Amino acid sequence: MKRRTDRAIPAADERLLLRLLHGELPPDETAALERRLEGEPALAARYRRLAELWHGLELPPAAVPVDFRRDVLRAVERRVADDGTPAPAWLRLAAAAALLVGLGLGVGLGRLGVAAAGEQESWPVLVDEAPTLAERYWQSLEASGGRLGPEEPRR
């Protein structure tokens, strides 16, 4: 638990220690902090602890896999063959603009078509020509000479 008590220094000081450890402090601040480290054992202990932790992080160098470069170059060639030569930026922009204009035109024309269809539905042309049931009744009544019911067979 001794290590936990090492941490009981202000966070601002700990940040300074880390900057010192990482070589990020300007020379004047480095000198000032080093003077403090000589006079403050708790601060010095914390610095040693952080340094131990930092330098204790060890990893071996990663080796480049055999044929890595060759594999990447082949992958590039494959992809270039699949994709073809990429179009220049202006051409892609023009294509996108044309697509947007086309979409806009399509939507506009679609709306016009719907409006026209709507007009036809609200003003059906055939309604004047088609006799209603009542008209047909009166027409048949006139034809029968004013008699109601089915026409009597002529004798």
Q: Is 75 in the site for other proteins (CB under 8 A)?
A: yes
Q: Is 61 in the site for other proteins (CB under 8 A)?
A: yes
Q: Which residues inside 113-132 make contact with other proteins, applying CB under 8 A?
A: none
Q: How far apart are the first and last CA of the chain?
A: 130
Q: What is the DSSP letter of 6?
A: H
Q: Is 11 in the site for other proteins (CB under 8 A)?
A: yes
Could you give the 3-state DSSP secondary structure of residue 155? Answer: coil
Q: Is 71 in the site for other proteins (CB under 8 A)?
A: yes
Q: Is 60 in the site for other proteins (CB under 8 A)?
A: yes
Q: What is the DSSP letter of 123?
A: S
Cα separation, 45 vs 146, in Å, equals 124
Contact mark string toward other proteins, 83..112, x via CB under 8 A: ---x--------------------------
Q: Closer to other proteins at the Cβ: 62 or 133?
A: 62
| CB contact at 8 A, 27 and 37 | no
Q: What is the DSSP letter of 119?
A: H
Binding residue count for other proteins, defined by CB under 8 A: 36
Q: Is 147 in the site for other proteins (CB under 8 A)?
A: no
Cβ neighbors of 25 (< 8 A, separation 6 or more) are: 16, 19, 33
Q: Closer to other proteins at the Cβ: 85 or 132?
A: 85
Beta carbon of residue 52, minimum distance to other proteins (angstroms, whole number): 10
Cα separation, 13 vs 29, in Å, equals 12
Instruction: Please give the single-letter amino acid code of residue 139.
Output: Q
| Contacting residues toward other proteins, per CB under 8 A | 3-4, 7, 11, 14-15, 18-19, 22-24, 49-50, 53-54, 56-65, 68-69, 71-73, 75-77, 79-80, 86
